[in-house]
Structure 1
């Protein structure tokens, strides 16, 4: 622990705490908490039987501390009243009982001393639980009469608290106090107290005290272990002042020769009025004893010596290094605390005489320096340092990092380039902004140490077959605030891009970071799924079906934009991860399947080449791949472009003459037209990125911009089935709406449909379920939608294009070419007037009457007349459409709620 009262000391305190924790516990995790410079340190001894019963055995006070190490402990605390004592005990039991805790434990608290006064609100805070026997357990044993060690062993073998007799009861005896004084081997040099060394020559314990010790005549104390020599424990029936006097008397009878101890300090504490009155806090020794944590060279400035016995934990300088006053030379550990040994002068290091792990003696020369006249300033000192010097540890790191680069593997790169594809690192380099890629996990290799040489693994399995990290993408256009993304790229040149043990760990790690930071993911997926050759872990992993990577990838759906990029062959587990992505971009020569040729043949399903499994001329038209491109370069450009729609608006845009929109729909209401031409003229020039173009061709789904603002667009395609919505078109639009909703993009819907596709053949495609997806998903949209009726707006299909009904979108408008009705006009006439028309014998008259009724329905349902009945919001000049879209969606607040649960993979 380090108290930080000045921000300038935070970094040093943090590093010292980490180092001490790592050496003491093997874990350098540390945390920050509020500093209470004056506090009473109280702890409650508990015992649990593992069956839900936990009992408090009373409190101890441990407020006499030096550098957070307890020196004197006593029980009970003389300053607590019964209400305060009960409050601490209840808190300790309430904490431990739900855990079904078994064994001894100590629940520790800090108490604000100002709240102990009569009438004040008692305030205490929890510090920690020590789930074990503690050094100071003796004072609880003395006041309760319990043998805590025996009690712990009995519950450990299954006895309950009911089985224990708890001899003497679980509460302290009235007016009885126990005090423990920790006798340490230590001495003081100036204002510094450190561990002492030597050989014990005499050792005599007091007659009327309990002494727990390992000391004996002949014991060598070398400073390697904890400095505690003995615990002197006294028990007094009477006042706390009498208990303090008994403790002083016992220490006076204690005889230890040959090694310096802290007995005199303990006696001075026990006789101090502040202690006797019970007012001492954790700051007592800081207020009454000068303690320093820094040790500077003394005497001859050219020879730096140790002022105390300690262990060397780090050597912080090297021969030839220029140093100034305060430069740390080595770091020593004594009494579980680390102390930098610093230079007192400017100079150059000639020699360091110790190494990490050495035990140094008092007065031992640690380093020799050549003293320079004057003191170096910070700039001058940096001038003396060889900034180009590469230390051995850094040199090793640089060598290992160089081994993972493409340049270190020319044969593998040549083979890769012969396929017409770039390497994983080349694709990442092309994708991300210059010098922005921070690689995570470059050093792992395949888990095959038991059967392959390490140098071979380093050379042939760098990164265990996947490159992961964080980077900025499109930062020049959108700025650093929104350009960060996580990037993963399977490396096909490493074991065919298969998934290995460390490969999965790296993937899980970068995906978890992306989830925490809520940044998009770009995932280059290429390879053949699980790897059976990782023999180092096969005996641990078993079937390997408990990996978390697939769940982690799936959990990101709807949380952040996920982009899959396929440039080659991708099967099995790699394909499963790719299929979790919002959008898949694939090069035309790629193959994608849930099993590769070997697994297909192994399942008895025939023998195929890789090129026959899931080629793009299958996976594009069937909707698995959203964007099919020619090569790696186009794939990366498509990924950058797709991601840009989720990074915010652009500042520069242009658009065509909007008057063209007036002429794109033919006056003949039955003539087809090019819906993509309408889209291109309506939105910003060059802003259309169409998804799943080859699938569900009766609909268009695209990312677009209007006045630089990104949004989604769905449209019926009158060139296919007259714009009728079939199952594929419904699925395509439904998932696209989910995608836009998940990531906060408003949607423009361009409606020109006679309705849903019907008939026996259509029902064979499960239309009822597929069509209803549009209504269910639309009903849960949290993003705004604007619907524009270009021409036909008939039946349930038109309602589906308007989020379920014309009043559901933020705005529903129509062009003058719009026509409306519960179903197609021709069908409506056939149904409504079937008997009348059948009764007309003359074909010419029958056709004339049919057209008359058709014209009547068209006139009643054309846009201008329907608007008079407030069926929708307005009929507009087509040239005004862009203004309506921009104005309507501009005023709507950006969606910032919780993301949708997920985006359907289909």
Structure 2
């Protein structure tokens, strides 16, 4: 007596599960330029590492004798895998089954995936391609009643945000619950032309009286309502990429900087770049004319380990660059001003972006490097209407709350409250300043005519008097005057920035307890 018959049935059910929504539905998925769920899991995870959990779960069909005639698999796949050789929970929605609608699935699968992540302390990756959680209006008729909305296991989603790295890839139309699962993450990606994200799609918007989809084809309406070009610029998602392959690569890259869970140390890579590398171009990077801009991204490339800068959120909150990078192989989080956008002034979105990134770095214990050229918070009526000061103070609070080591380098400007948000002034300040440094409570150039109004009015030649005042104040505002009073710890040769930051990284990770 053996169990051969049951094992044969198991293999049969597994084969049915691998067909997903059927040959026609899978072909339709591919015709839209989209990979199917199983192909996505194979492409994202290390080769051969994915072990599926609950593969045969679904809705079985039986004949009058109770014999299996077919299976509709659950439209959600998950399992244990490795990424970069490290264990993760990998999940994928299957759009070929009822458009990935959760009501066609088994809620416990999604709950178990989320629970597995935080209970076993494993990063979780969600590949989201679904219409949401509630299904269609027809579903309500089948149930025979409506219901008060609830999301089974959402507490596990919240727990994961506090416990493990969470990556979300929107790989198709993601509405309702799918949209919520996308944004409830530490790093999120949309694919240009392939992904859309909204609380409700165009048809529902139209049904509410907006007539949004009128005179548009459905695909265009979806793009205009919730395409990547919208959400990568408003901060709903972090990044927009050109292909699914690029999305997988960026997800893997993000995780390479992360520990497997909060409380574990991120890993140092084998150093490949000399600590004492001094790039000559840094000397002339900052122009003497304060009205001229320069490339902060070029500075990052010269200071951090070659080829390691991984920027996230490039298209939103653009006055600040947020990135991960390495110094002598040690992973660090980087915040840097971008003088090419709004002169580097922090408006509401930039402040929101900085706050979120600093909190992420602190949660996963990554030292922070802040490269500063900040003329202050954005001013003017639009800035006031956007609530800039509230978001700006929240960003400053995040920096003051951060418990990880932080080093700041002042390349040029540091003015006002925003300038003081470079680091926590109530702690030891690991800080360096370039000779191009220019700081104060407000830019002196903008207040000369007001501060010296009476002198200028009394002068025979007001223009000459103004120029004389400028020359006097230029001496007063020299960064060396600040250094005399030890208001500035060290003024450095810009070429020494990398060696000094590598020193900081080594000491920071020693303090964090890394080997």
Gap change, CA 1:417 and 1:856, over 3 Å in 2: same
Please give the secondary structure, in 2, of the residue aligned with 1:628: strand
Cα distance in 2 for partners of 1:455, 1:737 equals 54
**Residue 89 (structure 2) aligns with:** 486
Please give the secondary structure, in 1, of the residue aligned with 2:162: coil
Cα distance in 1 for partners of 2:16, 2:510 equals 46
Paired residues of 1:447 and 1:537 also in contact (CA < 8 A): no
The alpha carbon displacement at 1:504 in A equals: 2.2
Please give the secondary structure, in 2, of the residue aligned with 1:576: helix
Paired residues of 2:332 and 2:505 also in contact (CA < 8 A): no
Q: Greater share of strand residues, 1 or 2?
A: 1
Cα deviation, 1:542-588, whole Å, max 9, x if unaligned, reads 51623323332123213211111012211111101111111211100
Cα distance in 1 for partners of 2:67, 2:359 equals 48
The alpha carbon displacement at 1:893 in A equals: 4.3
Paired residues of 2:101 and 2:130 also in contact (CA < 8 A): yes
Paired residues of 2:21 and 2:96 also in contact (CA < 8 A): no
Cα deviation, 1:525-544, whole Å, max 9, x if unaligned, reads 111112246689946x9516
Q: Which shows bigger deviation, 413-422 or 826-835?
A: 826-835
Paired residues of 2:60 and 2:68 also in contact (CA < 8 A): no
Paired residues of 1:585 and 1:628 also in contact (CA < 8 A): yes
Q: Which runs of 5+ in 1 are unaligned?
A: 1-316, 319-389, 476-482, 898-906
The alignment status of 1:424 with 2:37, answered yes or no, reads yes
Cα deviation, 1:754-785, whole Å, max 9, x if unaligned, reads 11112223211112211111222122111111
The 5 Å alignment of 1:230-241 reads none
The alpha carbon displacement at 1:838 in A equals: 2.9
The alignment status of 1:766 with 2:382, answered yes or no, reads no
Cα distance in 2 for partners of 1:454, 1:887 equals 69
Paired residues of 1:564 and 1:581 also in contact (CA < 8 A): yes
**Residue 234 (structure 2) aligns with:** 622
Please give the secondary structure, in 1, of the residue aligned with 2:46: coil
Paired residues of 2:191 and 2:240 also in contact (CA < 8 A): yes
Cα deviation, 1:658-708, whole Å, max 9, x if unaligned, reads 222212112333321111111111112221221221112111111111112
Cα distance in 2 for partners of 1:493, 1:896 equals 47
| Pairing partner for 1:650 from 239, 255, 269 | 269
Cα distance in 2 for partners of 1:456, 1:712 equals 55
**Residue 403 (structure 1) aligns with:** 16
| Pairing partner for 1:863 from 472, 476, 479 | 479
Cα distance in 2 for partners of 1:618, 1:865 equals 47
The alignment status of 1:560 with 2:164, answered yes or no, reads yes
| Pairing partner for 1:495 from 91, 98, 113 | 98
Gap change, CA 1:503 and 1:534, over 3 Å in 2: farther
**Residue 702 (structure 1) aligns with:** 323
| Pairing partner for 2:339 from 706, 711, 718 | 718
Gap change, CA 1:447 and 1:773, over 3 Å in 2: farther
**Residue 663 (structure 1) aligns with:** 284
The alignment status of 1:597 with 2:202, answered yes or no, reads yes
**Residue 508 (structure 1) aligns with:** 111
**Residue 263 (structure 2) aligns with:** none
| Pairing partner for 1:579 from 166, 172, 183 | 183
**Residue 192 (structure 2) aligns with:** 588
Cα distance in 2 for partners of 1:457, 1:395 equals 15
**Residue 470 (structure 1) aligns with:** 80
The alpha carbon displacement at 1:651 in A equals: 1.0
| Pairing partner for 1:676 from 297, 303, 315 | 297
The alignment status of 1:891 with 2:507, answered yes or no, reads yes
Gap change, CA 1:563 and 1:447, over 3 Å in 2: farther
Cα distance in 1 for partners of 2:62, 2:449 equals 78
**Residue 746 (structure 1) aligns with:** 367
TM-score by length of 1: 0.52
Please give the secondary structure, in 2, of the residue aligned with 1:875: coil
Paired residues of 1:447 and 1:535 also in contact (CA < 8 A): no
The 5 Å alignment of 1:137-148 reads none
Gap change, CA 1:546 and 1:620, over 3 Å in 2: closer
The alpha carbon displacement at 1:446 in A equals: 4.5
**Residue 446 (structure 2) aligns with:** 827
Q: Greater share of helix residues, 1 or 2?
A: 2
Greater CA radius of gyration, 1 or 2?
A: 1
Cα deviation, 1:340-381, whole Å, max 9, x if unaligned, reads xxxxxxxxxxxxxxxxxxxxxxxxxxxxxxxxxxxxxxxxxx
Paired residues of 2:434 and 2:493 also in contact (CA < 8 A): yes
Paired residues of 2:75 and 2:105 also in contact (CA < 8 A): no
The alpha carbon displacement at 1:863 in A equals: 2.3
Cα distance in 1 for partners of 2:67, 2:319 equals 57
The alpha carbon displacement at 1:484 in A equals: 1.0
Cα distance in 1 for partners of 2:368, 2:475 equals 30
Cα deviation, 1:225-256, whole Å, max 9, x if unaligned, reads xxxxxxxxxxxxxxxxxxxxxxxxxxxxxxxx
The 5 Å alignment of 1:158-557 reads 318=2, 391-406=4-19, 409-446=22-59, 458=71, 461-462=72-73, 464-475=74-85, 483-500=86-103, 502-529=105-132, 530-532=134-136, 538=143, 543=147, 545-557=149-161
TM-score by length of 2: 0.89
Gap change, CA 1:412 and 1:820, over 3 Å in 2: same
**Residue 692 (structure 1) aligns with:** 313
The alpha carbon displacement at 1:751 in A equals: 0.6
Paired residues of 2:129 and 2:170 also in contact (CA < 8 A): yes
Cα distance in 1 for partners of 2:204, 2:62 equals 27
The alignment status of 1:873 with 2:476, answered yes or no, reads no
Please give the secondary structure, in 2, of the residue aligned with 1:820: strand
Gap change, CA 1:786 and 1:745, over 3 Å in 2: same
Please give the secondary structure, in 2, of the residue aligned with 1:678: helix
**Residue 223 (structure 2) aligns with:** 611
The alpha carbon displacement at 1:709 in A equals: 1.5
Cα distance in 2 for partners of 1:444, 1:552 equals 21
The alignment status of 1:848 with 2:452, answered yes or no, reads no
Please give the secondary structure, in 2, of the residue aligned with 1:874: coil
Please give the secondary structure, in 1, of the residue aligned with 2:48: coil
Please give the secondary structure, in 2, of the residue aligned with 1:871: coil
**Residue 815 (structure 1) aligns with:** 434
Paired residues of 2:278 and 2:499 also in contact (CA < 8 A): no
Cα distance in 2 for partners of 1:537, 1:687 equals 54
Cα distance in 1 for partners of 2:150, 2:509 equals 43
The alpha carbon displacement at 1:858 in A equals: 3.0
Paired residues of 1:786 and 1:809 also in contact (CA < 8 A): no
The alpha carbon displacement at 1:449 in A equals: 8.9
**Residue 411 (structure 2) aligns with:** 790
Please give the secondary structure, in 1, of the residue aligned with 2:404: coil
The alpha carbon displacement at 1:457 in A equals: 5.8
Paired residues of 1:744 and 1:894 also in contact (CA < 8 A): no
Paired residues of 1:550 and 1:577 also in contact (CA < 8 A): no
The alpha carbon displacement at 1:840 in A equals: 2.6
Cα deviation, 1:592-645, whole Å, max 9, x if unaligned, reads 111112322332332423333201121121121211111111111111111111
Cα distance in 2 for partners of 1:776, 1:822 equals 19
Paired residues of 2:80 and 2:89 also in contact (CA < 8 A): yes
Cα deviation, 1:260-299, whole Å, max 9, x if unaligned, reads xxxxxxxxxxxxxxxxxxxxxxxxxxxxxxxxxxxxxxxx
Paired residues of 2:128 and 2:169 also in contact (CA < 8 A): yes
The alpha carbon displacement at 1:749 in A equals: 0.5
Gap change, CA 1:449 and 1:802, over 3 Å in 2: farther
Cα distance in 2 for partners of 1:586, 1:895 equals 37
